[in-house]
Amino acid sequence: MSAPQEGYAITDAEIDKRLDMIKKQEAEAAKKQQEADKLKKDLASKKVQETNNMQELWKQIEEQGNKLNAIQKQIDATTATLKQTGQELQEAEQRVETRDQLLKSRVRLMYTNGFVSYLDVLLESTSFSDFLDRYHALKSIVGQDKEILEANKRDREAVAQKKVQVEAQLAQVQALYAQNELAKKELMAKEKDKEVLIASLAKQEQAIEEVSEEQEEFLKKLAAEKSKLWAEKNKNKKTAVYTGGQLKWPLPGRTTISSGFIHRINPVTKKSENHKGIDIPAPAGTEIHAAAPGTVIIAQWVNGYGNTVVIDHGGGLETWYGHARSLAVEEGDQVKAGDVISYVGSTGQSTGNHLHFEVRKNGEPTDPIPYVK
């Protein structure tokens, strides 16, 4: 679509046809943008959720790490106990060996001197007193031998049983460590998956953002085309052409500016941006007035702006009025300064009822303050 060629008189019917085509293109673009905005909102919500999930994963990984540290301490303590038990078993074996040597020594002595039964020793008594002495001596020897054998058995069994218990305990703790280490690895694998997913969501957001920027450029071109077409259609009519001077304040009596023509963090998207106009808070339904006479070239939903009116004042100057609750004009209407064109609302990317007011010179946003009273 192009502007009327020089030397060619375009008819009103052709202009209307082109304007209708542009309006359809704008409607299609607005619909696509609304779908993109919804997708972007869904992606942002999902990214927030996944980021929260990631933080929960970090917490779980930290807790799992603490568990592993605690289990490692148990392993260290059990290993030390096992080492101590091994030492005790070795000492017990030495005691058994010592006792065995005592028994073997007496057996060797008996073998060397010839075997003498306990009964022979008693019968060789010279008196009853000697008999009692021999009896008590033999009883002591037998008791000592029996104690040695029982002590050997107790030492072996007690230490061996303790070693088995400690080895079982160590195996159990090591198995527990292996399970928790596996759990930590699984959590870290999930963490990587989440990182990939969040990066993918961010990439999709960026792609939609680029589409939105392209869409805005497309709408700017359509607005410029419409401006030329309306100028052509109204060339024989008396229409205002901006030649300088101040514009009227679009919200009489509402002088508070909540956000100026500045670089800021968008309150909706939370992203850094150049704010293209000024925000003037006011109750819903407050009348919005045209800042200067001109032709309405946009009166519909616009990406980010919600319900929007754009007035072409001629001389390359346009004023934009965004986030309206409802509109009071249609495209092609001729308006005078102070005419009611829409009503304050909170449509589009908005966090509350206000007017987003822009002044554009040759299509580029400029600070509105120097232009308005």
> 186-224, pLDDT tens digit by residue?
888 888 888 888 888 888 877 777 766 777 777 778 877
Buried-exposed string 176-187: b where 16+ CB fall within 10 A, e elsewhere: ebeebeeebeeb
Number of residues that make up the chain = 373
CB 248 within 8 A of CB 291: yes
What pLDDT is attached to residue 1? 42
CA distances from 367 to 142, 255, 261, 295, 318 (A): 116, 16, 6, 21, 12
Ordered by where they begin, the domains of the chain are 60-201 (1.10.287), 234-371 (2.70.70.10)
Ranges of the chain with pLDDT below 70:
1-9, 99, 103-104, 106-126, 128, 130-131, 133-146, 148, 211-212, 263-273, 373
What pLDDT is attached to residue 339? 97
d(CA 79, CA 172): 12
Q: What is the pTM of this model?
A: 0.55
What pLDDT is attached to residue 9? 65
CA angle 163, 169, 173 (to 5 degrees): 145
Q: Which spans in the chain are helix H?
A: 12-113, 118-123, 128-233
